[in-house]
């Protein structure tokens, strides 16, 4: 039903794109008709998603021209204008949704981004939730929805602003067939209400593609063919789209393809049961992942588990392998209950996990060797076995390559080869073919069939492809942790009188669910008029900003671990640093080697022992004793008083006392030296006064030292006000940086790319909740300083609080700045730690005043916000100052925060590269 | 347990590490450049202290005092008026302000013992104490030298012959370099083993191992020996080449004994890395946890400030940390030349802490996979 009179919705001219050295798209030239459903078909990694993200404006155009809705997508002005007419749902179940937010809150977030007023928003959300049947689940967190419901929610979020072009990237992958069918019915109904809307879909399911209006077949970044499904099948003379796709592949690839041939099972083996499950149950908290599952599988059988993502297939397999202990029921392999400690059974089982789980840093050969060794293959036959395996699985040519450099199909072959290296009798394979292209998939299946029929290997396999399920000897249909039916594919079809296995599965699903989860869809089209698009073009819209603030605050509130760790962490660190970086040195251990033993010598020792700086240990007996006790660290100071000391002092003869301090720790030794000299001088003075009276004390001058602000020179009074700025920088900066980088890593950053929200709104919106959290932290730290550490607060608290607010704005702004450079969360953590810790500790006046610094350190100190808040903190805590006294520190602090925010907004990218 | 598994899996870890260029750079950097720069950059006790002088006397003696302050201990003094003094100290510009009263020189020569006022910003602990000592002795020696030209003074009858043992010049680099090596050992061994385990868990390879005839004990032991070996080799190089060679720090005691201690410390910290990885749910959580653990380990172990000056409770708690014992052991062996008969309690403590952490991780290992 392409309307030739309408201009195409999308026009691509020689579009190309590279990720580093990998070419993802190569000169794609296409016109996609408007007003219909256009499907992109092809296996994973052929460039479908890349193409869709280019069309949605989420990715920057590299080569060629992408024209969408009559404008060039490389032009930012057109993107801004066309953005609100395009809706984009990226790949992955609920990838652009927020799992801790409820269904309503998710849709509401998008409504706010598109600038709808409150009434308008609530009406639209109610309509959308009703029509998709999500109404009854409005309060459920998105993360707790089933795959099908997540996709419907994604659709609601995409449709909130009545788009003209709806882009769906693999919306039904991993979703059960009933939800899949309902999803497409929903799309049809919506299109019935809005006939002008164009829909662009990527899919890996060929059955689904058959109902689209127009198809584009893709392989390795190129377009193989385009046309209506009937047209394509006719052109290639094939009966199903799967075959059509294979026929469209280039000659060399097609040549490798062999149809899978399955010989019948020899009946004799059937009696020998090797895998048996009885009432197998697994609960995680109050969620039951697997609910009383039972089956018996005979030797050499290919047994399939068919079901959607999250229906319990993987959990069942993990219980069979002993990775998870079953909460209830038993699993038996070879007649023995599964026991994770039984190493003997493990040698007879091979397991292949869902995603590629071999060592990417080892070559193919090293991977094979490692597993061969771990399975104790005899050293003599190992090389032969590896060579044979490599030949059998067609890996001989890539033996020295790293797995990451190989295509997905080859990697899956390697996984299978590794699982088979020890010739196990049972193979447990968890979705081994997902994402693999049809040719490689059929080749893998042929290997499995050969293993089963020739070597009588029992194969337990899970899949969500119907045509693969057809190849199994028997299958179990699974849904929500329960087995719906278990039989041969033909018997399941016949029993339901269904034409295809999919129909039979749907019929079973409908029976199991009984309409409980599925409120009847009711299509009410929102009035297409009154769309307030004026807000979309505005440069700064507080509503869009607060939309992000609200969402971030909700997420923070629902992830208490993060907030607690942040608050508790800073308190812990305050205690550690407050007590740890302690510059008071007292209780130094000392002992004397007194050769004299007179009143005078004992008086000298008493003089030291009486001070709070020194603690006396048992007297030293000899030089050897002195040496030993200093070596083992018992004594920090040793005093040696020479023989005849008392007599010489009395006669005024020159005499010297020997003192040794432990220099192993120079800082402590330095202080100890000062103490000893002081005590020595004090002793002399006292003696002189008793002997000669005050007249002898006339010195040339007196130095009156006033220790200001901290008269007792206490470490805590000095350190605690300096630690607060340090902690208020590190942790808020890290949390803010993580909040942005998390969106990049998890994929929800795409909402920044494709909605009208501006960079400044996005950043400021995300910054505000963390400013709030940091101010709460500020209050906690200030209270701990005054009430726990007992540091007197002498100045204006208002000045301290205002300084604190300006400072946390700067600190979170610094986090935003860091986030624009970092791609992964772990990099953000280490990056923030390095960029905050060293400048804040060394260049901001915590230890050495900024005026003492030179060169780069001095420059960093002058522009770093911590310097100024350190002055404010010390000034208000210890120096009794107020706002006007500290004007020179407030000025720069006032400027730094906004500058950081603006720089971050300029550096943040509004499109993926 | 099969030794061959532990060996094979350990070789696998080493091969993996060999391909991770970023981590290799991090290891090399932390044991060479980082040690070198951190140790040579340690300032002397008093470095470039800002001082201001109010000279109300304007006499030859007062000018002589002003000229006696110069880098590196002090910045060249700034001459200010009495009114400026409070304001500058409030703003934190100066740590010291010396006020020489009018007629100071005349009063000194007349034997009237006039007073000089020294104001110290005591919130700057690092400079306040030692700085005022320096200022006292500088002013005293200038005044005495000036006075000596006019009249002779007596030397004190009892002399104090004060010497520092083990590090006669109290060179901070001697101490700092070895403490930095210890910090690098702790940090890298925890990061390497912890991230190695979390990576295996995130990639699913750990499950792959656990369905093979391999036990959690073998997996953990392989990580401990391989990552421990890497850090051990790096720290041996660092102590012998960087510390003894480039930094020319004389080492008194037995390096072999120190390395034995390092091996036990590595056993404890690699086990701690595994333990933290079993506690953390994900890489970001591991990162946050790492900060909360590393900082107390470094600050409170006695490597940066003396243990004696910490509260009793903190000292007791820190006895559970391997670093505390390793720092004690390193100071005894490397500086004081202590032998086995002195450090055996620390060696024993390290081994015990290591075994405890290893046992705890082993108990948590399977549970942490869920």
pLDDT digits (tens, 9 = 90+) for B41-58: 655 556 788 899 999 999
CA distance A176 to A147: 8
- Structure confidence at residue A530 as a pLDDT band (50, 70, 90): very low
Query: Is residue A289 over pLDDT 80?
Result: yes
Residues in contact with A460: Cβ distance below 8 Å, sequence separation at least 6, in sequence order: A275, A297, A303, A305, A317, A320, A426, A427, A428, A429
Q: Please report the pLDDT score of residue A584 as a whole number.
A: 67
- Structure confidence at residue A738 as a pLDDT band (50, 70, 90): confident
Q: If you search the block for the tokens 């007023």, which residue do you land on?
A: A117
Nearest-5° angle of CA A865, CA A871, CA A874? Answer: 130
The CB density around residue B25, as the number of other CB atoms within 10 Å, is: 10
Number of folded domains that form chain B: 2
Is the residue at B297 inside a domain?
yes
- State how far residue B240 is from chain A, nearest Cα, in angstroms: 19
Quick one: B337 and B216 in the same domain?
A: yes
The CB density around residue A468, as the number of other CB atoms within 10 Å, is: 23
What token pair was written down for A409? 């199909």
Quick one: B248 and B196 in the same domain?
A: yes
Contact call for residues B304 and A846 (beta carbons, < 8 A): no
What's A59's DSSP letter?
B
Range A24-48 average pLDDT: 87
* Number of residues written out for chain A: 913
- State how far residue B25 is from chain A, nearest Cα, in angstroms: 15
Range B175-193 average pLDDT: 89
With helix as H, strand as E and coil as C, how does B157-206 read?
CEEEEEEEECCCCCCHHHHHHHHHHHHHHHHHHHHHHHHHHHHHHHHCHH
Contact call for residues A137 and A103 (beta carbons, < 8 A): yes
Which of B101, B119, B148 is at the close of a domain?
B148
Q: Which residues in chain B have Cβ-Cβ distances shorter than 8 Å to A326?
A: none
Helix (H) or strand (E) holding A486: strand A482-487
Q: Please report the pLDDT score of residue A314 as a whole number.
A: 86
Q: What is the pLDDT of residues A5-15, one digit of tens each?
A: 578 889 999 99
Contact call for residues A749 and A741 (beta carbons, < 8 A): no
Of these ranges, A16-25, A438-447, A666-675, B324-333, the one predicted with the greatest mean pLDDT is: B324-333
Using CB atoms within 10 Å of the CB of residue A457, give its burial: 0 to 12 exposed, 13 to 18 middle, 19+ buried.
buried
Whole-angstrom CA distances from B120 to A842, B123, B131 are 21, 9, 9
Q: What is the pLDDT of residues B244-264, one digit of tens each?
A: 888 888 887 899 999 999 999
Q: Worst-scoring range by mean pLDDT, A295-304, A685-694, B227-236, B353-362?
A: A685-694
Quick one: B246 and B341 in the same domain?
A: yes
Quick one: B11 and B75 in the same domain?
A: no
Is the residue at B282 inside a domain?
yes
Q: Quick check: A324 and B370 CB within 8 A?
A: yes
Is the residue at B153 inside a domain?
no
What's A141's DSSP letter?
B
- Structure confidence at residue A535 as a pLDDT band (50, 70, 90): very low
Question: For B326-354, b where at least 16 C-beta lie within 10 A, e where not — what string?
Answer: bbbbbbbbbbbebeeebbeebbebbbebb
Q: What is the dihedral of CA A565, A569, A570, A576, to 10 degrees?
A: 180
SS3 B306: coil
Is the residue at B154 inside a domain?
no
The shortest CB-CB distance from A654 to any of B20, B128, B157 is to: B157
A730: nearest Cα among A904, A901, A572: A572
Quick one: B274 and B348 in the same domain?
A: yes
Is the residue at B249 inside a domain?
yes
Q: Please report the pLDDT score of residue B370 as a whole number.
A: 60
SS3 A558: helix
Quick one: B188 and B246 in the same domain?
A: yes
Minimum CA–CA partner of B110 in chain A: A700
Q: Please report the pLDDT score of residue B353 as a whole number.
A: 96
The DSSP-derived string for A675-736 is HHHHHHHHHHHHHHHHHH-GGGG--S-EEEEEEESSTT--HHHHHHHHHHHHHHHHHHHHHH
Whole-angstrom CA distances from A517 to A134, A292, A416 are 9, 21, 38
Whole-angstrom CA distances from A392 to A397, A422, A433, A447, B30 are 12, 14, 18, 9, 46
Mean pLDDT of all residues belonging to chain A: 85
Number of Cβ pairs < 8 A linking chain A and chain B: 342
Of these ranges, A73-82, A401-410, A812-821, the one predicted with the greatest mean pLDDT is: A812-821
The shortest CB-CB distance from A825 to any of B91, B163, B284 is to: B284
Quick one: B133 and B196 in the same domain?
A: no
Whole-angstrom CA distances from A565 to A569, A570, A781, B321 are 5, 8, 14, 21
Task: Give the CA count within 13 Å in the CB-facing half-sphere of B181.
Answer: 31
Could you tell me the CATH number of the domain that includes residue B113?
Answer: 3.40.1710.10
A115: nearest Cα among A756, A857, A873: A756
Q: Which ranges constitute the DSSP H helices of A559-619?
A: 560-580, 599-609
Q: Which residues in chain B have Cβ-Cβ distances shorter than 8 Å to A854?
A: 48
The CB density around residue A112, as the number of other CB atoms within 10 Å, is: 24
- Say yes or no: A559 contacts chain B, CB-CB below 8 A: no
CA distance A337 to A55: 54
With helix as H, strand as E and coil as C, how does B47-79 read?
CCECEEEEECCCCHHHHHHHHCCCCCCECCCEE
Range A686-710 average pLDDT: 71
CA distance B173 to B252: 15
Contact call for residues A870 and A877 (beta carbons, < 8 A): no
Helices and strands (H and E) in chain A: how many: 34, 25
Q: What is the pLDDT of residues B318-329, one digit of tens each?
A: 999 999 999 999
Q: Which ranges constitute the DSSP H helices of A514-653?
A: 534-537, 542-558, 560-580, 599-609, 623-631, 645-651
What's the N-to-C CA distance of chain B in angstroms? 24
The shortest CB-CB distance from A830 to any of B45, B90, B287 is to: B287
Residue with the bigger pLDDT between A568 and B368: it is A568
What token pair was written down for A323? 């990775």
Q: Quick check: A663 and B144 CB within 8 A?
A: no
Using CB atoms within 10 Å of the CB of residue A230, give its burial: 0 to 12 exposed, 13 to 18 middle, 19+ buried.
exposed
What token pair was written down for A438? 């049809």
Minimum CA–CA partner of B170 in chain A: A666
Q: What is the pLDDT of residues A583-640, one digit of tens each?
A: 667 778 899 999 988 988 898 899 888 887 888 899 999 999 988 888 888 888 999 9
Phi-psi map region of A420: left, alpha, beta (phi>0 left; psi -120 to 50 alpha): alpha
Is the residue at B156 inside a domain?
no
Query: Is residue B156 over pLDDT 80?
Result: no
B336: nearest Cα among A639, A638, A662: A662
CA distance A756 to A753: 8
Q: Please report the pLDDT score of residue A1 as a whole number.
A: 42
* Residues of A (656-715) whose Cβ lies below 8 Å from B: 656-671, 673-674, 676-677, 680, 684, 698-711, 713, 715
Whole-angstrom CA distances from A590 to A611, A629, A637, A672, B342 are 12, 10, 5, 11, 19
Query: Is residue A755 over pLDDT 90?
Result: no
Q: Please report the pLDDT score of residue A709 as a whole number.
A: 82
What token pair was written down for B182? 């210890």
Is the residue at B158 inside a domain?
no
Query: Is residue B283 over pLDDT 80?
Result: no
Nearest-5° angle of CA A376, CA A382, CA A384? Answer: 155
Quick one: B18 and B58 in the same domain?
A: no
Task: Record the pTM.
Answer: 0.80
**Cα–chain-centroid distance for residue A794?**
44
Range A480-484 average pLDDT: 86
Q: Please report the pLDDT score of residue A830 as a whole number.
A: 73
Query: Whole domain around residue B138: which residue ranges?
Result: 51-148
A265: nearest Cα among A485, A471, A469: A471
Residues in contact with A502: Cβ distance below 8 Å, sequence separation at least 6, in sequence order: A177, A207, A466
Which of B113, B148, B183 is at the close of a domain?
B148
Q: What is the pLDDT of residues A343-396, one digit of tens each?
A: 888 889 999 887 777 888 889 999 999 999 888 888 888 888 899 888 888 888
Residue with the bigger pLDDT between B268 and A185: it is B268
CA distance A497 to A358: 43
Q: In what order do the strands lie in the sheet with A702-708?
A: A702-708, B115-121, B96-100, B51-55, B78-79
What's A138's DSSP letter?
T
Quick one: B212 and B143 in the same domain?
A: no
What token pair was written down for A121? 């928003």
- Structure confidence at residue B224 as a pLDDT band (50, 70, 90): very high
Minimum CA–CA partner of B291 in chain A: A833
CA distance A694 to A707: 27
- Say yes or no: B170 contacts chain A, CB-CB below 8 A: yes
**Could you give the ipTM of this predicted complex?**
0.77
Q: Which residues in chain A have Cβ-Cβ distances shorter than 8 Å to B94?
A: 851
Mean pLDDT of all residues belonging to chain B: 86
Range A87-105 average pLDDT: 86
Is the residue at B159 inside a domain?
no
The CB density around residue A4, as the number of other CB atoms within 10 Å, is: 5
Q: Quick check: B300 and A361 CB within 8 A?
A: no
Q: Would you call the peptide bond into B72 cis, given omega within 30 degrees of 0 as the criterion?
A: yes
Helix (H) or strand (E) holding B208: helix B205-210
Quick one: B36 and B55 in the same domain?
A: no
Q: Worst-scoring range by mean pLDDT, A450-459, A547-556, A853-862, B255-264?
A: A853-862
Whole-angstrom CA distances from A623 to A595, A598, A663, B160, B345 are 11, 20, 18, 18, 25
Quick one: B217 and B264 in the same domain?
A: yes
Q: Please report the pLDDT score of residue A528 as a whole number.
A: 43
Of these ranges, A765-774, A850-859, B114-123, the one predicted with the greatest mean pLDDT is: A765-774
* Percent of chain A surpassing pLDDT 70: 95
- Structure confidence at residue A431 as a pLDDT band (50, 70, 90): confident
- Structure confidence at residue B280 as a pLDDT band (50, 70, 90): confident
Q: Quick check: B314 and A579 CB within 8 A?
A: yes
* Percent of chain A surpassing pLDDT 90: 22
Which of B148, B178, B211 is at the close of a domain?
B148
- Say yes or no: A360 contacts chain B, CB-CB below 8 A: yes
Question: For A65-82, b where at least 16 C-beta lie within 10 A, e where not — what string?
Answer: ebbbbeeebbeeebbbbb
Range A398-411 average pLDDT: 83
Quick one: B226 and B313 in the same domain?
A: yes
């Amino acid at each position: 039903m392409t309307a030739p009179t309408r201009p195409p919705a999308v026009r691509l001219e020689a579009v190309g794109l590279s990720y580093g050295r990998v070419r993802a798209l190569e000169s794609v030239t296409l016109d996609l008709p408007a007003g219909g459903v256009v499907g992109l078909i092809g296996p994973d990694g052929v460039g479908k998603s890349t193409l869709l993200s280019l069309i949605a404006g989420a990715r920057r155009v590299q080569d060629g021209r992408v024209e969408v809705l009559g404008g060039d997508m490389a032009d930012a002005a057109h993107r801004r204008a066309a953005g609100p007419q395009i809706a984009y749902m990226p790949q992955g179940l609920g990838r652009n949704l927020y799992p801790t937010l409820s269904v309503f809150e998710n849709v509401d977030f998008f409504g706010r981004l598109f600038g709808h007023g409150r009434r308008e928003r609530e009406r639209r959300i109610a309509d959308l939730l009703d029509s998709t049947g999500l109404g009854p689940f409005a309060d459920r967190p998105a993360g707790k929805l089933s795959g099908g419901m997540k996709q419907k929610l994604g659709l609601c979020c995409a449709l909130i602003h009545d788009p003209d072009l709806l882009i769906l990237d693999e919306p039904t992958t991993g979703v059960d067939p009933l939800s899949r069918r309902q999803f497409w019915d929903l799309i049809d109904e919506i299109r019935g209400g809005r006939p002008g809307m164009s829909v662009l879909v990527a899919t890996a399911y060929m059955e689904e593609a058959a109902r689209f209006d127009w198809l584009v077949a893709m392989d390795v970044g190129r377009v193989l063919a385009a046309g209506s499904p009937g047209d394509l099948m006719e052109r290639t003379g094939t009966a199903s789209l799967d075959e059509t796709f294979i026929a469209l592949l280039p000659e060399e690839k097609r040549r490798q393809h062999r149809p899978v041939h399955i010989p019948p099972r020899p009946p004799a083996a059937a009696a020998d049961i090797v895998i048996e499950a009885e009432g197998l149950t697994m609960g995680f908290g109050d969620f039951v992942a697997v609910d009383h599952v039972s089956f018996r599988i005979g030797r050499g059988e290919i047994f399939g588990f068919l079901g959607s993502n999250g229906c319990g297939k993987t959990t069942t397999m993990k219980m069979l392998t002993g990775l998870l202990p079953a909460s209830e029921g038993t699993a038996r392999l070879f007649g023995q209950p599964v026991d994770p400690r039984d190493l003997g059974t493990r040698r007879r089982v091979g397991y292949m996990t869902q995603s590629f789980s071999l060592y990417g840093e080892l070559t193919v050969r090293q991977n094979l060797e490692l597993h061969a060794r771990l399975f104790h293959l005899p050293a003599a036959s190992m090389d032969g076995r590896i060579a044979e395996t490599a030949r059998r699985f067609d890996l001989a040519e890539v033996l020295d390559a790293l797995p990451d450099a190989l295509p997905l199909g080859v990697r899956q072959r390697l996984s299978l080869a590794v699982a088979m290296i020890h010739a196990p009798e049972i193979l447990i394979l968890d979705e081994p073919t997902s994402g693999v292209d049809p040719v490689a998939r059929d080749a893998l299946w042929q290997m499995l069939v050969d293993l089963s029929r020739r070597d009588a290997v029992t194969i337990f396999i899970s899949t969500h492809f119907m045509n693969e399920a057809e190849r199994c000897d028997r299958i179990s249909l699974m849904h929500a942790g329960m087995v719906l039916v278990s039989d041969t594919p033909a018997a399941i079809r016949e029993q339901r009188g269904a034409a295809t296995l999919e129909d039979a599965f749907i019929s079973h699903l409908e029976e199991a669910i009984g309409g409980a989860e599925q409120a009847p869809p009711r299509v009410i089209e929102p009035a297409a008029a009154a769309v307030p698009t004026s807000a979309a073009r505005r440069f700064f819209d507080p509503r869009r900003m607060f939309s992000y603030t609200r969402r971030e605050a909700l997420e923070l509130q629902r992830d208490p671990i993060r907030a607690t760790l942040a608050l508790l962490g800073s308190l812990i660190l305050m205690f550690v640093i407050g007590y740890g970086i302690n510059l008071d040195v007292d209780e130094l251990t000392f002992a004397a080697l007194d050769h004299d033993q007179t009143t005078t010598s004992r008086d000298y020792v008493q003089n030291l022992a009486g001070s709070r700086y020194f603690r006396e240990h048992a007297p030293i007996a000899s030089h050897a004793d002195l040496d030993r006790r200093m070596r083992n660290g018992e004594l920090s100071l040793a005093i040696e008083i020479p023989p005849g000391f008392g007599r010489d002092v009395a006669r005024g003869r020159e005499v010297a006392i020997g003192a040794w301090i432990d220099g192993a720790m120079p800082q402590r030794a330095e202080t100890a030296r000062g103490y000893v000299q002081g005590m020595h001088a004090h002793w002399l003075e006292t003696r002189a006064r008793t002997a000669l009276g005050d007249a002898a004390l006339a010195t040339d001058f007196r130095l009156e030292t006033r220790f200001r602000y901290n008269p007792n020179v206490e470490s805590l009074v000095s350190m605690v006000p300096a630690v607060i700025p340090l902690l208020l920088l590190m942790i808020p900066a890290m949390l803010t940086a993580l909040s942005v980088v998390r969106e990049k890593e998890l994929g929800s950053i795409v909402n920044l790319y494709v909605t009208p929200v501006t960079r400044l709104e996005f950043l400021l919106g995300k910054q505000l909740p963390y400013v709030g959290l940091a101010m709460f932290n500020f209050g906690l730290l200030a209270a701990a300083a005054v009430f726990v550490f007992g540091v007197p607060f002498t100045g204006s608290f208002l000045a301290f609080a205002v300084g604190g607010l300006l400072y946390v704005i700067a600190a979170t702004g610094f986090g935003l700045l860091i986030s624009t450079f970092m791609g992964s969360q772990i990099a953000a953590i280490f990056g923030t730690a390095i960029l905050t810790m060293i400048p804040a500790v060394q260049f901001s006046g915590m230890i050495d005043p900024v005026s003492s610094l030179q060169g780069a350190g001095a420059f960093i100190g002058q522009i770093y916000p911590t310097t100024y808040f350190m002055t404010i903190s010390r000034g208000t805590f210890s120096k009794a100052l107020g706002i006007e006294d500290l004007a020179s520190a407030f000025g720069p602090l006032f400027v730094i925060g906004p500058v950081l925010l603006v720089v971050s907004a300029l550096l943040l990218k509004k499109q993926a590269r | 347990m099969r030794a061959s598994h532990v060996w094979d899996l350990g070789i696998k870890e080493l091969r993996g590490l060999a391909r991770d260029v970023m981590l290799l750079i991090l290891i090399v950097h932390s044991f060479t450049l980082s040690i070198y720069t951190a140790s040579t950059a340690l300032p002397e006790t008093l470095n470039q202290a800002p001082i201001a002088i109010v000279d109300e006397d304007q006499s030859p003696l007062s000018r002589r005092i002003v000229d006696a302050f110069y880098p590196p201990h002090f910045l060249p003094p700034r001459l200010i008026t009495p009114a400026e003094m409070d304001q500058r100290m409030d703003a934190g510009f100066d740590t010291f302000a010396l006020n020489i009263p009018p007629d100071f020189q005349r009063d000194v020569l007349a034997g009237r013992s006039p007073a000089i006022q020294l104001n110290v910003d005591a919130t700057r602990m690092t400079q306040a104490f030692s700085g005022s000592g320096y200022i006292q002795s500088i002013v005293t020696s200038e005044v005495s030298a000036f006075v000596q030209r006019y009249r002779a003074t007596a030397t004190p009858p009892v002399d104090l012959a004060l010497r520092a043992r083990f590090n006669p010049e109290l060179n901070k680099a001697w101490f700092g370099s070895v403490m930095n090596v210890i910090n690098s050992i702790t940090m890298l061994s925890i990061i390497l083993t912890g991230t190695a385990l979390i990576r295996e868990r995130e990639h699913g390879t750990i499950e792959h191992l656990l369905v093979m005839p391999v036990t959690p004990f073998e997996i953990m032991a392989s990580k401990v020996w391989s990552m421990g070996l890497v850090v051990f080799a790096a720290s041996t190089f660092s102590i012998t080449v960087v510390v003894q060679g480039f930094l020319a720090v004389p080492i008194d005691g037995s390096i072999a004994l120190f390395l034995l201690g390092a091996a036990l410390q590595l056993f404890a910290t690699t086990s701690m890395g595994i333990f933290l990885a079993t506690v953390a749910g994900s890489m970001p959580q591991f990162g946050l946890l790492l900060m909360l653990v590393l900082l107390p380990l470094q600050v409170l172990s006695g490597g940066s400030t003396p243990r004696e000056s910490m509260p009793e409770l903190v000292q007791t708690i820190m006895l559970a940390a391997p670093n505390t014992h390793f720092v004690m052991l390193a100071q005894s062996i490397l500086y004081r030349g202590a032998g086995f008969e002195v450090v055996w309690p620390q060696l024993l403590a390290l081994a015990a802490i290591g075994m405890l952490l290893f046992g705890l991780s082993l108990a948590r290992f399977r549970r942490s996979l869920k």
